[in-house]
Amino acid sequence: MKIHNELLELRQKEKRITSEILNKLQEMEDSRQYLAMGHNSLFDYLARGLGYSEATAYQRQACVRLAKEVPEIKQKIDQGSLTLSAVTTAFKLLRKKPLAEKRKVLKSMEHKSSREVKAMFLEPTPTIKIHKTEYRDKVHLRLELSHEQNEKLERLKALKSHKHNVESLLMHLIEKELKLYENVQRKSSGSNENNKFGVTKSKNPRQISKRLRNNVLTAANYRCQYPGCDSTHFLQVDHILPVRLGGDQNRSNLQILCASHNQRKG
């Protein structure tokens, strides 16, 4: 019994600490101090700055964001009627829903296990069905689309101009994607000299050619170059010396920043 009582006591402490951490994280999120520390999001701060696993970091971030809109969930997490994983699921799936609906769904999640919560949202995800048969000289792909998927395909076909049928559109998309990757690879094996881009350089310093953009991205290894940041999301080409201060689009004046750090630089 002694061990059990000790564990009960520790469990109480654990709950208290979890709720203290959530409150402190809320302060961190509101002040966004993590930006100056090289983190581009609360998630990144939780994972790299505090050493949480990615899954836990995501849960903590979801709680903080959702608690901002629906503050009463913090109390419910403390009491144990809402689990962190339920809150995470709600955050992910209700993001664009109106506040009243969030409240209602969160209420209905109380005292449910994570599995029950997940089941509340279960919808068959539409995937494209493909039946593949290989022959010696060709491959047969039989494509099965829902009406909705087919409408999207038709819409793209119409937008792309009238010369396409489904077959040519598909080939066009494949070729285009392939070319994009090949271009990036070809450029990354090239040198970094400024004059290499002289030919395509436009007079407008804000305008950066695709080729130059690719070069900067490749050199940055597709990561934000803000000291300490490593983000691979929402990357933008940044003028180290801003254009309004006379910066140009020479290769040496360009770097990659994630949107958060670019915005912070202003």
Binding site for Zn ion (CB under 5 A): 40, 224, 226, 229, 231, 258, 261
Nearer to Zn ion, 40 or 83 (CB): 40
Q: In angstroms, rounded to a whole number, what is the distance separating the alpha carbons of residues 238 and 47?
A: 26
Nearer to Zn ion, 74 or 261 (CB): 261
Give Cβ neighbours of residue 266 (< 8 Å, ≥ 6 apart).
Answer: none
Classify residue 51 as left (phi > 0), alpha (psi -120 to 50) or beta.
left
Nearer to Zn ion, 34 or 226 (CB): 226
Q: In angstroms, rounded to a whole number, what is the distance separating the alpha carbons of residues 91 and 249?
A: 41
Nearer to Zn ion, 48 or 251 (CB): 48
DSSP characters for 28-89? HHHHTGGGTTT-SSHHHIIIIIS---HHHHHHHHHHHHHHHH-THHHHHHHHTSS-HHHHHH
**Shortest Å distance, C-beta 20 to Zn ion:** 28
Nearer to Zn ion, 24 or 265 (CB): 265
8 Å CB contact between 39 and 45: yes
**Shortest Å distance, C-beta 22 to Zn ion:** 25
**Shortest Å distance, C-beta 49 to Zn ion:** 13
Task: Please tell me the number of Cα atoms within 13 Å of 184 on its side-chain side.
Answer: 14
* Cα Rg, the chain, nearest whole Å: 25
Q: Which residues of 191-201 are buried (b: 16+ CB within 10 A; e: fewer)?
A: eeeeeebeeeb
**Shortest Å distance, C-beta 46 to Zn ion:** 15
**Shortest Å distance, C-beta 229 to Zn ion:** 3
Nearer to Zn ion, 145 or 220 (CB): 220
**Shortest Å distance, C-beta 65 to Zn ion:** 19
**Shortest Å distance, C-beta 180 to Zn ion:** 24
Nearer to Zn ion, 83 or 225 (CB): 225
Looking at the DSSP bridge assignments, the partners of residue 257 are 236
Q: In angstroms, rounded to a whole number, what is the distance separating the alpha carbons of residues 222 and 255?
A: 11
Nearer to Zn ion, 28 or 67 (CB): 28
**Shortest Å distance, C-beta 257 to Zn ion:** 6
Residue labelled with tokens 């290989």:
134
Of 237, 212, 232, the residue nearest 222 (C-alpha) = 232
Give Cβ neighbours of residue 248 (< 8 Å, ≥ 6 apart).
Answer: 205, 239
